[in-house]
Amino acid sequence: MRNVSQSTVRRLSVYVRVLEDLERRGGETVSSRGLADRAGTTSAQVRKDLSYFGSFGKRGLGYSVPELLKSLRAILGLDRAWGVAVVGAGRIGQALARYPDFADKGFDVRAVFDNDPQKIGQRWDDLEVLDVGDLPQVFRERQIEIVILATGAESAQSVANQVVACGVRAILNFAPVKLQVPAGVGLNNVNMVPELESLSFALTNPQATARGVSGASQEPS
């Protein structure tokens, strides 16, 4: 398995979601076409994506829903729980720390940190906001592997440095800064402003945005 593109990985996520849904409904098998329609892509794309990782289907029949789900979960590393910490207990940090979907998907938020004495000690559900000074110790104790960074932009780089120094190798960053992290550390950024700006562009330049979209299947019947 070499050189799998980011878009493929993102689509695998979607396939997992679709397969979970099918399994819940009692579906036994699904074809690349069935998967594609529900995931919003094409059957060829589904087969190509899966082919990077092996052969999972039966010719003439399709894929076994539970088996493919199991395989994809293993590929994405979703067959285990991950220890997650949120740093920055502001509005977005709170929304994220208490977002139930994370735990459902195996991303256990095991700690929340802030450096504001007003915030430290607050209890949210079964989480307590901890002092960012205790971060190294707590990270070790609670086996934190993924950090959700939700401090203000000015502190983001320094927090990133700290958590990397603690051995964390994956950061989901919400602060609007381009973080510098050493090679080998995974970094994904979530930026809302560019999302709005891309909508602004689409509204301003309707002709440059012919993108079909919406509703119909991607391929001929």
String marking each residue 16-45 x if it binds DNA according to CB under 7 A: ---------------xxx-------xxxxx
Whether 113 and 88 have beta carbons less than 8 Å apart is answered as yes
Instruction: Please work out the total of residues on this chain that contact ligand NAD, with binding judged by CB under 6 A.
Output: 27
54 contacts a copy of itself (rule: CB under 8 A): no
Question: Please, what is the minimum distance in Å from the beta carbon of residue 52 to DNA?
Answer: 9
131 burial level (CB within 10 Å; 0-12, 13-18, 19+) = middle
Instruction: For the chain, state the CA radius of gyration.
Output: 20
Write each residue from 165 to 184 as x if it is in contact with ligand NAD (CB under 6 A), else as -, in one continuous string.
---------xxx--------
* Cα dihedral across residues 93, 99, 104, 105: positive or negative: negative
Q: Under the criterion CB under 7 A, does residue 58 sit at the interface with DNA?
A: yes
Q: Is residue 63 near DNA by the rule CB under 7 A?
A: yes
Report the DSSP beta bridge partners of residue 114.
131
87 binds a copy of itself (CB under 8 A): no
- Catalog residues that contact DNA under the rule CB under 7 A: 3, 5-8, 31-33, 41-45, 47-48, 50-51, 55-63, 218-219
